[in-house]
Structure 1
Amino acid sequence: MVGTVEMNHGSVNSNGSLHNSSGAEEKLDELRRLLGKTDGDLLKIVGVGAGAWGSVFAALLQDAYGHFRDKVQIRIWRRPGRSVDRSTAEHLFEVINSREDVLRRLIRRCAYLKYVEARLGDRTLYADEILRDGFCLNMIDTPFCPLKVVTNLQEAVWDADIVVNGLPSTETREVFEEISRYWKERITVPIIISLAKGIEAALDPVPRIITPTQMIKSASKSFSLFFFNEHELAAGVPIENILYLGGPNIASEIYNKEYANARICGSEKWSKPLAKFLRQPYFIVWDNSDLVTHEVMGGLKNVYAIGAGKFFILLPILLFYPQKGKPYSAIHNCLLKFFVMFRECPSQAILQALQDETMNDPRERIELAQSQAFYRPSLLGQP
């Protein structure tokens, strides 16, 4: 018929892209087989943490596989009780009315009226409430598909097959210690994909860094979980079941189909099939076995970016050197130059370089920075 288009082999995602149902189903079936799933047994995927990247990652999976309701369940956990302030509610209302597809979806779901009331100040919205409608509090301008939201952590994770860590590195250890308590009665081993970027510093027995996957591994050991691993009884989630996914990615750009790539790193047993499962036409995921290097560099990339900006500003600036009576570059006063020029240093030399003008041992400041009293977003009511 003139003026119509038939689409028998695909359907439209909430971000406007098409997915091939048969190809997606084949990838889903392959992963289900690897995890030992039988007919009628749902593959349960849970995102823990609902920041921008964690929410978008769950939305990507929901768009790609959520319509296979008899084979997979995709949910996301976030803390309850975080209210949306009046100015954000007003901006959210503007976003909704600027997007006809979003407006129609909310009206169809009988969810539009509450946003009108919030705009008028007659109602308070909550972060978990708007997440169900496809809005992340950290990324209001990029609506995505509606998500299944759970606010009880035990309910979310106790029988999950795949857990996606979308928490900041500062909260990863604390939350996964709680999760480990709910896994004490588990028989099957979960797979954990960490999206967290960041590292902790440890001082004993020598100065070193701790990555989020190491925090997760350590947290699972602390409650004496026991799984059979290669015919041996092993404590905690085995490291081969903990992976890291990262790359030069911006959440809103990925959901808006701007081309991006990432690597999922860890044991080949899971990195290869998961890379295939996560790969989309505009989001290319490669597998890699080098977990620690990618995770460390994912945590340090922002530090390097700030350092590069600092170098860029300081390079053209000249200061007067009174003792020699001539100018010199301001870059010579930058501590970062020391690490760039002399990177092969023992740990004690690095600590010495970090001493301030009072020559105080930087270990005290590092210990303070790692203490819960210094920075704990959950105490501040942050997501």
Structure 2
Amino acid sequence: MSGGEVRRVAVLGAGSWGTAFAKVIADAGRDVRLWARRPEVAASINERRTNPDYAPGVELPGLLTATTDAASALAGADAVVLAVPSQTLRRNLVGWRELLPPSSTLVSLAKGVELGTLQRMSQVITEVAGVTPDRVAVVSGPNLAREIVAEEPTATVIACTDHDRAVALQHACTTGYFRSYTNTDVVGCEIGGAGKNVIALACGMAAGMGYGHNTTASLITRGLAETARLGVALGADPMTFAGLAGLGDLVATCSSPLSRNRTFGERLGRGQSLAEAEEANHGQVAEGVKSCTSICALGERHGVELPIADAVRRVCHEGLSPAEMGKELITRAPRHE
């Protein structure tokens, strides 16, 4: 389909971001089939035009229909959007790979690094689906789902090594409130998207301990620096981290109360345990809690120092307290910026 028009899109995953992105594509005039795991979610979308669990109070467009049948969702799709959490992508994709339409563009919305393999999401997709890297695109940027379904203006990056595919997707998801840019730096966009969740946990912890904007700004800036170091070591363009998939996504995720990672970190900063924070988060663990381990392992593999990510990892998994984390970071040996 390289360069061809995207007319029909399958979105696999009816959570907050999957629903929001499906709405964007339908508002751009494309036919969208949204796969939902739960029948009641699909029924609500089709019968009442709403997804009360993930987009309450939002009327979904008529071009968006839902199904629990993955084969039905995927039939004839020009693009397949994978909107499941990063650590479940492989398992889900194994079940879908025989149904993927030939030559369709596979689009990842997940932001993370897979535990164990240390693969980026695009690498998981190419391996499991058996496709070439130029068929895989990633979406990244300041994309808080609740603001998008409310049609508040935002921008995003669609990255694909095949520029024509990126442009075709760009046209398929550009609306009066959602502006898309293209990029060919898939590595940079993915590392920026994965790293920001971990830095947002640190910013949340700082907020939970009562610290203000200076602390948050310092963590965002130094967090961006270490994320960019890792990205460059993996072959990314350093300028990507100054853009929407780097700084843009990082600022939104670290600053907004709508960010699951930031609010999860805030609970830890107030003294809650990981289990207590998870319970308060309706049983969901923020992506950064899992991916901090794989990101730190990736940094170690490539000889890249990631002090903030490593401190977050030790808070989440080794019993370091947020207060001890803060003291460690502020008393590190002086160095050139």
Q: Give yes or no for TM over 0.5.
A: yes
1:169 maps to amino acid: S
Deviation at 1:33, TM superposition (A): 9.7
In 1, distance between residues paired with 2:77 and 2:304? 45
Contact 1:240–1:269, Cα closer than 8 Å, also in 2: no
Which of 160, 166, 182 aligns to 1:287? It is 182
Question: Within 5 Å, which residues of 2 pair with 1:227-246?
Answer: 236-246=130-140
Deviation at 1:356, TM superposition (A): 7.2
3-state DSSP class of the match of 2:179?
strand
Provide the residue aligned with 1:271 in structure 2: 166
Contact 1:265–1:290, Cα closer than 8 Å, also in 2: yes
In 2, distance between residues paired with 1:213 and 1:36? 22
List, as ranges, runs of 4+ consecutive aligned residues in structure 1 with deviation greater than 4 Å.
311-316, 343-346, 348-351, 353-357
Deviation at 1:195, TM superposition (A): 1.0
The count of aligned residue pairs is 228
1:58 and 2:16 matched:
no
1:165 and 2:76 matched:
no
Which one has a bigger Cα radius of gyration?
A: 1
3-state DSSP class of the match of 1:164?
strand
Deviation at 1:290, TM superposition (A): 0.8
TM-score, normalisation: structure 2:
0.58
Provide the residue aligned with 1:134 in structure 2: 49
1:165 maps to amino acid: L
1:245 maps to amino acid: V
In 2, distance between residues paired with 1:169 and 1:135? 25
Provide the residue aligned with 2:61 in structure 1: 145
After superposition, the C-alpha distances for 1:193-242 in whole angstroms (9 at most, x for unaligned) are 11112221336xxxxx312211111111xxxxxxxxxxxxxxx2221110
In 2, distance between residues paired with 1:63 and 1:36? 16
In 2, distance between residues paired with 1:154 and 1:210? 27
Deviation at 1:349, TM superposition (A): 9.1
* Structure having the larger proportion of residues in strand: 1
Question: Within 5 Å, which residues of 2 pair with 1:297-376?
Answer: 297-311=192-206, 346-347=300-301
Provide the residue aligned with 2:287 in structure 1: none
Contact 1:56–1:144, Cα closer than 8 Å, also in 2: no
TM-score, normalisation: structure 1:
0.52
Deviation at 1:255, TM superposition (A): 2.4
In 2, distance between residues paired with 1:164 and 1:63? 16
Relative distance call for 1:51 and 1:312 in structure 2 (3 A) is closer
Deviation at 1:173, TM superposition (A): 0.9
Residue ranges of structure 2 left out of the alignment (5+ in a row): 212-221, 231-298, 319-337
Provide the residue aligned with 1:332 in structure 2: none
The RMSD of aligned alpha carbons is 3.5
User: RCO higher in 1 or 2 (8 Å CA, sep ≥ 6)?
Assistant: 2
In 2, distance between residues paired with 1:291 and 1:36? 21
3-state DSSP class of the match of 2:115?
strand
1:251 and 2:145 matched:
yes
3-state DSSP class of the match of 1:45?
strand
In 1, distance between residues paired with 2:32 and 2:176? 21
